[in-house]
Amino acid sequence: MTLRHAYRRSLPFLVVLLSALAVVACSGGSATDGPPSLSVIDDRQTTLGEPIVLAFTVSDEAPETVTVTATSSTQEVVPDSGLAITGTGGGRTLTVTPSSSDTGTTTITLTATDAGGQTGTRAFEVVVAEPFQGEPQVLAPQGGDPIGLAVAIDGERIVAGGLQSAFVFELAGGTWGEQQKLEPPEDNLNDVQGFGEAVAVAGQRVLVGAFLTNGTAAEQGAAYLFEEGGGSFAFAAELLDPAPEASDRLGRSVGMSGDHLFAGAPLATENDVRSGSVVTFAPDTPTGWTLLGKLTPSDATADTVFGESLDVSGDLLVIGDYANDERGTDAGAAYVFERESGFWTEKAKLAPDTLEAGDQFGLAVAADAGWVLVGSDNDDDQGTGSGAVYVYTDTGSGWEQVDKLYAPDAAVNGGFGSGLALDYPYAAIAAKYDDELGGNSGAVWVFGHDVVAGREAELAHAHGRGVLRHERRHQRRVRRRLAARERGAHGRVPALRGG
C-alpha cells in the first residue's frame, strides 16, 4: 500500500474524528474545556422551618447547558425535598428550607454537571437552631408601673399598654430598654379612660386606644396618635367619632396601615343597628387627621361586637366579632377586608359551620403575608373551654380554612387563642388561663410555618414557649353583658367602600 493510498483510506476516519471533536466542543464538554465551577457559599445559620435563600454563580464556557443539583448530608435537619434550585445560565438561586422539628448541622453539597458529563462541586454547612432561644428579658417600666394589658412590636420597638399609660421600649445592644412613657395629653377636654388597653406601632407612629373615654357621650371612646421626632414621641392627634353615642367604645382595638389609622368601636350603632364598627382615619391637611369612613359588616346584626378585635397588614384587614350569633349564641365570626384601588372592601365572612354556641370565634385575630388567624378561646374540641385557633389563606378562589391549631398540652378552660400575633412565618398564641405555672398563670405558644413537608397551610409548634401573666379582669362575655344596658332598635348596615 502506498502512502497516498493509506492517506486516502484514513481520510474518512479523520473526518469522523474531527466531527466528533467539533460536536464535543460545541456542547461545552470538550477535553480542552475544564469542568464547571460554582462560587463560594459561606456557612449559614437559620432556625427551625425558616427558609434561607442563597444566590450563587455557575462558571462554564456554556453555563446554560449546566445542570445543578443539591443534596443534604443530614436528612433530619434539612431533607433533600427542602432544597430547591431556580434560575438558568450563570446566575442561580438555592432555597434551603430546614426541618421544623430537628435541630443540628448539615452539609449541603451542590453538584454542577455540564453536557459532557464533567462535574464540579461546592459544599457549605447549615446550622439549624431553635427559634426564640436565649435568656428572656422582662420588660418593666422604671417607675414600677403595671403593664401588659396590650402589646405591639415593630422591628426593634415594643409598645406595652398599662393603666392609663403606654410604654415604648427599644432594642439596643441586645437589651430592651425603656425609651418613653406615653400618657394622655394634659390639655385634653375629654375624660380619658382606658388609655393603654389597645396599642399599635408602625415606624415612627404609636396609636393608643382609650375605649372608656367620656366626652360628649359617656364611654364614647377615643384613640391617641403619637409621632416620633427628635428622638422622642410627642402627642400628634386625638381621634374621635364626630358624632359619638354613649358606649360606642371607640379604641377598643387599634391598627395602622400606611396613612390609614383604624379604631374599633364594638358597641357602636350604624343605621340603627348596634353591631359595632371600625372607624378609619386619614391625614387631612392642614387640620391633621379626619374621619375617612366606617367599616361595618355586610350582614350587620343587633347585639354583636364587630370591631372588638382587629389586625391590619398592608392591604389586608381582619376584624373580629366574637358575639356573632350566625352559628349559635356567641359562636362568633370574623370579617376579611382588602384594599383595592384605595378602597377597603369586605371580601369574606369567616364563620365555620363547625362552630358552636359560646365558642367566641373572633375574640382575637391576626393577619400577615396572606394568612389570617382567628382565635376561638372557648372551643371545646380538646376539652371544655380549651380553645383553638383557625388558620385561613386566600387560595385564589376565596378565603378558606386550611388548618385548626390546639395547645400541645390542651387543658379544660385553658383559653388557647385568647390572644394572637402573626409575623410570618411565626405566630404567637396566648392561652390566658393556662395553669402550667399555677392557677390561671397563662402561657404563650410560638408556632412556626411548616413548609418542609409541603404543608403550606399548616403551622407547626416550633418549641418556643414563654409565660404571660394575666389578671382575669375580662371574663368571657363581660363586654356583651355590659353592653346590654343600652341597646336599642336595629336595622341593617352596609359595608363601607372607603379608602
The answer on pLDDT for 352 being more than 60 is: yes
Angle made by CA atoms 311, 313, 318, in degrees to the nearest 5? 40
Rounded CA-CA distance 421/86 in Å is 32
Name which residue leads in pLDDT, 84 or 431: 84
The answer on pLDDT for 310 being more than 60 is: yes
The pLDDT assigned to 149 comes to 85
The answer on pLDDT for 165 being more than 50 is: yes
Q: What beta strand segments (E) does 60-204 contain?
A: 67-72, 83-86, 91-96, 104-113, 119-129, 147-154, 157-162, 166-172, 175-182, 195-202
Rounded CA-CA distance 102/64 in Å is 36
The pLDDT assigned to 433 comes to 87
pLDDT in tens, 473-496: 333 333 333 333 333 323 222 223
Rounded CA-CA distance 406/430 in Å is 11
DSSP state of 214: B
Coil vs helix vs strand at 190: coil
pLDDT in tens, 194-228: 999 999 999 999 999 999 999 999 999 999 999 99
In contact, 123 and 107? CB cutoff 8 Å:
yes
pLDDT in tens, 413-451: 999 999 898 888 788 888 888 877 777 778 888 787 754
pLDDT in tens, 467-478: 222 222 333 333
pLDDT in tens, 16-53: 444 444 444 444 444 457 999 999 999 999 988 888 99
Mean pLDDT throughout 63-86? Answer: 96
pLDDT in tens, 1-10: 444 444 445 4
pLDDT in tens, 103-124: 999 999 999 999 999 999 999 9
pTM: 0.72
In the chain, the domains with their CATH numbers are: 37-129 (2.60.40.10), 147-486 (2.130.10.130)
**Confidence grade of residue 253 (pLDDT, cut at 50, 70, 90):** very high
The pLDDT assigned to 24 comes to 45
Name which residue leads in pLDDT, 256 or 189: 256
